[in-house]
Chain A
Amino acid sequence: MIASPPTAARVVPQARRRRPPRLRWAEWFLERAIFVVSLSAILMVLLIFAFVGREALPVILGKTNNARSQRPIAVTQISTVPPDRLAKYLGVTTAELRSYDADTIRTLVELKAEELKQTVNPDTRFNTTSWRMMFYPYQWQGYDKPEYIWQPVSVVPKYNIVPLIIGSLKATLVALIVSVPLGVGAAIYVSQLAKPKVREIIKPVIELLSGIPSVVLGFFALIVMASTLQAMFGYASRLNAFVAGIALGLTVIPVIFTISEDALTSVPPSYSQAALALGAARWQVAWQIVLPAALPGVFAACVLGFGRAIGETMVVLMASGNATIVSASIFDSCRTLTATIAAELAEVVFGGNHYRILFLLGAMLFVVTFVTNFIGDVVVHRLKVQLEGRG
């Protein structure tokens, strides 16, 4: 700053002083607004998790109980039963019971007796919403051996989530087997070997894959891919984890491609230039120098691809056949966690056991995708720091 004569300094800044502060004020305001917007994203994530977690909490803590060992209360006995016992019997609070008139209570007692009469199955005495019943096989009435059964709408609702977890993992595994070699291979080609002109065509086209609505992809898999693949491989079940996994792979390829390509490009050119100067071929440079240097980034791409695949809904809902089988074969139908939530949440009674268990599935998915995204981000970040620090 150059000091100006005191008189001029007093006159000019007065006129100017009004403008810059106003601009700064607007800037300050804009900055805060953007900050609030970005903060709201974090808040949203927290709110969603809090909501999903809250709905699932009673199941997680083992506070739900659907065991029914009650003996029916006859209509004539209503006056002799203590109110708190009657309220518990009808599944309402004592305060709610007090607000009912005699006719309503009578109707409810009749309906409860009717409901109890229908449940002659001895398995009704179990609480099928316990962790044990959700993870361990059990020999239900009418079954030949202990099995993992997901039958949430039944005389005895069976909430074993093992078939769903296996279904999700099966479809995801197939998707990764398809998409990792293709996605990483394409990334190596585009970032290291392709001519600039070819790169400019291939890159946007692969990224365009992520723009296909998953319902369209699912429909394509259901109508075209399912029949074609069955004719090619000759397996028994037309809709299965294999078909769903391949369609799912198409949604995952852009994720893996984009992130691996990013990682490969961020390897400093000095690495490859040094190798080329020593007489290495281009593919040798790509395979032996650049890929190893970017390996953590490629790994992160695969982890993020896993997160994307396990959370995808529409494709698996349409193409997997949705049968709740526990089997190791990828040519059997499978039912994923996401498809189960999508297919069943619309009809459940709000606040019921089925509803809470579906939310538990949602919470599990949320945790899995959160962890995979977190790992992916951390790895990518570290790689960038490492490469840029050295380069």
Chain B
Amino acid sequence: MKRRLALILAVGLGAVTTHAASITVKGSDTMVILGQKWAEVYMKSHPGTTVQVTGGGSGTGIAALLNGTTDICDASRSMKPSEIADFVKKFRTRPREYKMCLDALSVYVNESNPVNQLNFSQLKAIFTGQITNWKNVGGPDGPVSLYGRENSSGTYEFFKEHVLNGRDFAAATKTMPGTAAVIEAVARDAGGIGYGGIAYGEGVKLLKVSRADGDQAIQPNAENVFNGTYPITRYLYNYVAPAVDTGGVADYITWCRSNEGQAVVKVIGYFPLPKNQRR
């Protein structure tokens, strides 16, 4: 009995020590696939380090960073002043922000929809509920069916701030639990329109987007994100508490931002950092 107890204790201690050597990453659902691929490649070349990546949304990740339950927070938007203030109140210092890669949001419609391009003011009118019929934007006569993300999603907030200028989404927007679900719904709905990362954009049509009415509409693709012409682009971030940003965690973030880590970004379908921002 005593021996068994000792064994259990030893195993338990072992679990605790390995846990201490591991890095936890939590946050943006948009970054989960990327984060997991990074972790997978990193762990292969750095045996002994474990990286655990979970999603939940940028808001969840930031809440976890504040509560101290994660080492690194993945966020698909920058932290708000009020969130930084909460962090400062708890840790007496600002969190460290790292730009990890570039992402572009694309707007999806059903493949059968003849509309190929929209400008910002049209997108704004559609997603705030002022335009409710496709014929108002050069499409067929039929209702617009809006799909979006839950309000915990960084994608939701980025689209709201960047495209809707902070206006509220129409109440009729059906909220889906992930970008994959948005695509699935739009693919099954002839009048559907939704938004999400380019990395997920298979099975539906990606719209060309222009900033103003007269501008040329730009196709969302790697080239146009790099040269800065595609209008709906954003950085994806990592946030870390300065006290945690040492040893294994710091090595991991540096590796992700190196050429090696940025090669993974390309594989997943996001856009690597410009050369001068890499480590």
Q: Which residues of A contact B (CB under 8 A)?
A: 90-92, 96, 100-101, 104, 107-108, 111-112, 114-115, 118, 140, 142, 147, 149-155, 158, 163, 226-227, 236-239, 317-318, 321-326, 332-333, 335, 343-344, 346-350
* Given A111-B88, A237-B145, A347-B175 contact (CB < 8 Å): no
Q: Are A333 and B172 in contact (CB under 8 A)?
A: yes
| Other contacts beyond A226-B188, A325-B172: 13, CB < 8 A | A91-B85, A115-B80, A115-B85, A150-B171, A151-B168, A236-B145, A238-B189, A239-B185, A325-B171, A332-B172, A343-B150, A347-B57, A350-B63
Q: Are B92 and A101 in contact (CB under 8 A)?
A: yes
Considering the complex of A and B, which 8 residue pairs feature the smallest CB-CB distances, nearest first? A347-B152, A347-B59, A321-B174, A153-B151, A115-B81, A114-B81, A111-B85, A322-B175
- Say yes or no for B140: interface residue by CB 8 A criterion: no
Q: Which residues of B contact A112 (CB under 8 A)?
A: 81, 85
Contact residues of B between 70 and 124, Cβ < 8 Å to A? 80-82, 84-86, 88-89, 92-94
Q: Are B171 and A149 in contact (CB under 8 A)?
A: yes
Cβ-neighbour of A343 out of B63, B66, B82, B152 (below 8 A): B152
CA distance A321 to B175 in the complex (A): 6
Cβ-neighbour of A347 out of B60, B88, B174 (below 8 A): B60
CA distance A100 to B92 in the complex (A): 7
CA distance A318 to B57 in the complex (A): 18
Closest to B92 in A: A104
* Given A107-B94, A323-B172, A118-B59 contact (CB < 8 Å): no
CA distance A347 to B80 in the complex (A): 14
Q: Which residues of A contact B189 (CB under 8 A)?
A: 238
CA distance A140 to B128 in the complex (A): 13
CB within 8 Å: A-B pair count:
111
Give chain A nearest CB distance to B83 CB in angstroms: 8
CA distance A49 to B5 in the complex (A): 39
Question: How big is chain B's contact interface, by range?
Answer: 35 or more
Q: Are B143 and A142 in contact (CB under 8 A)?
A: no
Q: Are A152 and B85 in contact (CB under 8 A)?
A: no
Q: Are B174 and A323 in contact (CB under 8 A)?
A: yes
> Would you mind naming 16 contact pairs between A and B with Cβ atoms under 8 Å apart?
A90-B85, A96-B89, A101-B92, A104-B92, A107-B93, A107-B94, A108-B85, A115-B85, A150-B171, A236-B191, A237-B145, A239-B174, A323-B171, A323-B174, A349-B66, A350-B67
Contact residues of B between 163 and 193, Cβ < 8 Å to A? 166-169, 171-177, 185, 188-189, 191
Q: Which residues of A contact B151 (CB under 8 A)?
A: 151-153, 344, 347
Q: Are B175 and A108 in contact (CB under 8 A)?
A: no
Cβ-neighbour of A149 out of B67, B85, B168, B173 (below 8 A): B168
Cβ-neighbour of B156 out of A150, A153, A158, A238 (below 8 A): A153
Q: Are B185 and A346 in contact (CB under 8 A)?
A: no
Q: Are A322 and B157 in contact (CB under 8 A)?
A: no
CA distance A333 to B174 in the complex (A): 7
Q: Mark B50-67, 1 if CB is under 8 A from A, else 0.
A: 000000110110010011
Cβ-neighbour of B188 out of A152, A238, A332, A349 (below 8 A): A238
* Given A101-B92, A163-B171, A236-B191, A153-B157 contact (CB < 8 Å): yes
Q: Which residues of A contact B60 (CB under 8 A)?
A: 346-347
CA distance A375 to B239 in the complex (A): 52
Closest to B85 in A: A111
* Given A115-B82, A142-B168, A158-B168, A227-B56 contact (CB < 8 Å): no
CA distance A323 to B148 in the complex (A): 10
Q: Which residues of B contact A323 (CB under 8 A)?
A: 146, 171-175
Q: Which residues of A contact B172 (CB under 8 A)?
A: 323, 325, 332-333
Give chain B nearest CB distance to A56 CB in angstroms: 19
Q: Which residues of A contact B185 (CB under 8 A)?
A: 238-239
* Given A112-B81, A115-B81, A142-B167 contact (CB < 8 Å): yes
Which of B60, B173, B175, B191 has the largest number of chain A CB atoms within 10 A? B175
Cβ-neighbour of B171 out of A100, A101, A118, A147 (below 8 A): A147
CA distance A349 to B177 in the complex (A): 20
* Given A107-B94, A344-B151, A324-B171 contact (CB < 8 Å): yes
Closest to A110 in B: B81
Give chain B nearest CB distance to A94 CB in angstroms: 14
Q: Which residues of B contact A118 (CB under 8 A)?
A: 81
CA distance A175 to B177 in the complex (A): 23
Q: Are A322 and B80 in contact (CB under 8 A)?
A: no
Give chain A nearest CB distance to B171 CB in angstroms: 5
Q: Are B150 and A344 in contact (CB under 8 A)?
A: yes
Q: Which residues of B contact A114 (CB under 8 A)?
A: 81
Give chain A nearest CB distance to B166 CB in angstroms: 5
Give chain B nearest CB distance to A14 CB in angstroms: 38
* Given A104-B92, A239-B174, A323-B175, A349-B86 contact (CB < 8 Å): yes
Q: Which residues of A contact B93 (CB under 8 A)?
A: 104, 107
CA distance A239 to B152 in the complex (A): 21
Q: Which residues of B contact A96 (CB under 8 A)?
A: 89
Closest to A150 in B: B171
Q: Which residues of B contact A153 (CB under 8 A)?
A: 59, 151-152, 156-157
Give chain B nearest CB distance to A348 CB in angstroms: 8
* Given A96-B89, A149-B171, A349-B63 contact (CB < 8 Å): yes
Give chain B nearest CB distance to A123 CB in angstroms: 11
Closest to B130 in A: A144
CA distance A101 to B89 in the complex (A): 11
CA distance A115 to B171 in the complex (A): 26
Q: Which residues of A contact B59 (CB under 8 A)?
A: 153, 347-348
CA distance A137 to B58 in the complex (A): 31
CA distance A346 to B62 in the complex (A): 11
CA distance A239 to B191 in the complex (A): 13
